[in-house]
Structure 1
């Protein structure tokens, strides 16, 4: 039968509350009593229940990772899982458990975070950008609840958030192509309303202008980020009388379509057309030739989120709003 705190208290000749105070390093207890209780704990091989200890301290030692988990989410948002793994690794170092919660079936915006905070079931919350909306943000701020948001919310706020600088990623892409001798560069992005795509395009255009190169409007193409729409968009670009020397693909699903269009157009890479893509996962390993990539270490971003929420728990007044995890260039055979 498992030894309980009551067994320890009885053997040490003290109250249960005294044992609890010693376990939690709280209260004014004489050193002799502390030594006696610790001796009994060792003798009886008593292991305190971590949940009970956390409860006594007013802590759950639990962090909620809030995200949307709709059907085929792993394909639509593959980075989210690497982010979650990085956050888990960092938080587990501090003995926190991480619980994944889904917002895709909410009956009203903010329902999940409302329940989490109202029930006191977690010490803090990591909010993936896919789960953030105005209602969720307002409720977190109204309760002054420890949190960190993955991704810049894109509106004025008092939220804690971290993100990678996608505009800088666009600059890196353009700078690399210019250094390779390309100055006629096209961009195939996601939907026109896609924030990340818009930020990457902004970085590309500003760098081209800085270096004295203009990007014609026909060189900027928007898609639904599917392979099929990217294929069609790339065919149109490659059929232009003054076709671009290089194409920047906003993600590697788009890159799959671009590769197909290049093959259809019977062009040699990189001699006749060059391209690069953002993000290493999930498809760059099957693209031939091996593409040049502007990549983000999203696992590290998850770790930074874990560090930030831990700091927020120690200092509730802390406000962190920063870009972290620099983009890196992985040189392939397509530039």
Structure 2
């Protein structure tokens, strides 16, 4: 015979309603009572009936993370792994489970999120990207589903979102290279339809303009957030009649491809080409040379996105909550950009 809430309540010396409040992480339940009840649940092997609980509370206590491309490709980039770690940590602390879904294209992503939300399997969604004219955002917005965007939307500036000031971050990174004496600075970008690529391009261009330097089209290469994109970019840059002496690179993983390409072509970093990148994933300190990178607080982006979504889902009294959160960034300067050019 299965253990019931009444059995747990009797053993704990509390009412069944108190056990229910412990299950829903009610703020009025003391930490000591919650700990005691949960210990007894574990001792007795009690498992709540999630479906029944969902029907009563009208909440699933689950959220979904929508991945921007097939998972096998996405997980090659440690940025997303750290982002998801932040999401899951905060969700678990709030008593929420996390489902992960992906699609090969925008249509499949819309179908996936529709199944989860229309089927009442989750209470809301987190999107790990921001694109122009995004079908997933349009679907969620038009159906009034709770969701949070990691990034920002130009079409819907009032969306709940968590982001870095990517324009300023790229400005600061480019200005660092300028301070070393570089005047020929290239940019290795990500997919042009992603807002993060556009914003970092803007910051790069603004820093050049403020320094009176030229933004040349042949010094800008677009690609995917993959090592191979950085590797290919070097074949292009190093064959130019006038090559850049420094590079701003949109993502650390892309930078590893850049380093590999430069090494194979016989160029040294930072003596021949100085490099600064974005995200500051754990491997940047282990590369050869250690990679300068803009720390955008990846874990905090995920943690705050999860927190903001769950606050919105639980906001029964319709308290006015912030709709945009900006996570601070900082430059982490390492050997890849510590070489000043001789003054001419």
Provide the alpha-carbon RMSD of the alignment.
3.5
Find out whether 1:72 has 2:75 as its counterpart.
no
Question: How much does 1:191 deviate?
Answer: 4.5
1:266, distance to aligned residue in structure 2 (A)? 4.2
Equivalent position of 1:315 in the other structure = 315
Any stretches of 5+ residues in structure 1 without a counterpart?
12-18, 26-41
Q: Distance in 1 between matches of 2:93 and 2:64?
A: 16
Are the structure 2 counterparts of residues 94 and 108 from structure 1 closer, same or farther at C-alpha, using a change threshold of 3 Å?
A: closer
Equivalent residues in 2 for 1:88-167, closer than 5 Å:
88-104=88-104, 110-129=110-129, 134-156=134-156, 158-167=158-167
Give the whole-Å Cα distance in 1 for the aligned partners of 2:261 and 2:304. 39
Q: Secondary structure at the match of 2:335?
A: coil
Q: CA 1:265 to 1:132, structure 2 compared with 1: closer, same or farther past 3 Å?
A: closer
Q: CA deviation at 1:95?
A: 1.0
Aligned counterparts of 1:188 and 1:96: Cα–Cα separation in 2:
38
Q: In the TM superposition, what is the alpha-carbon distance from 1:130 to its structure 2 partner?
A: 7.3
For residues 182 and 86 of structure 1, the distance between their equivalents in structure 2, rounded to whole angstroms, comes to 37
Which residue number corresponds to residue 219 of structure 1?
Answer: 219
Deviation at 1:275, TM superposition (A): 1.9
> Conserved in 1, the CA contact under 8 Å of 2:276 and 2:291?
yes
Partner residue in 1 for 2:48: 49
SS of equivalent residue, structure 1 residue 129? coil
Structure 2 match to 1:83: 83
TM-score, length-scaled by structure 1: 0.76
Instruction: Tell me how many residue pairs correspond in the alignment.
Output: 307
8 A Cα contact 2:63 2:98, kept in partner: yes
Q: 8 Å contact 2:130–2:196 — kept in the other structure?
A: no
Shift of 1:282: 7.5
- Aligned partners of 1:8 and 1:92: how far apart in 2? 22
Given that 1:274 and 1:334 are in contact with CA atoms closer than 8 Å, whether structure 2 keeps it comes out as yes
Deviation at 1:229, TM superposition (A): 1.6
Aligned to 1:37: none
1:330 corresponding residue in structure 2: 332
When Rg is computed on C-alpha atoms for both structures, the one with the higher figure is 1
**2: distance between equivalents of 1:191 and 1:293?**
19
**What does residue 62 of structure 1 align with?**
62
Residues 78 and 5 of structure 1: is their aligned pair in 2 closer, same or farther, counting only changes over 3 Å? closer
Match of 1:229 in 2: 232
Residue in 2 that maps onto 1:288: 288
* Matching residue of 1:270: 270
Equivalents in 1 of 2:58, 2:146: separation in Å? 14
- Relative to structure 1, the CA distance from residue 149 to residue 2 in structure 2 (aligned partners, 3 Å threshold; closer, same or farther) is same
Aligned-partner SS, 1:85? helix
The two structures have a TM-score, normalised by structure 2, of 0.74
Q: Could you list the structure 1 runs, at least 4 aligned residues long, displaced by more than 6 angstroms after superposition.
A: 6-9, 130-133
Where 1:101 maps in the other structure, the secondary structure is strand
Give the distance between the partners of 1:268 and 1:77, measured in 2 at CA.
25
- Matched residue, 2:300: 300
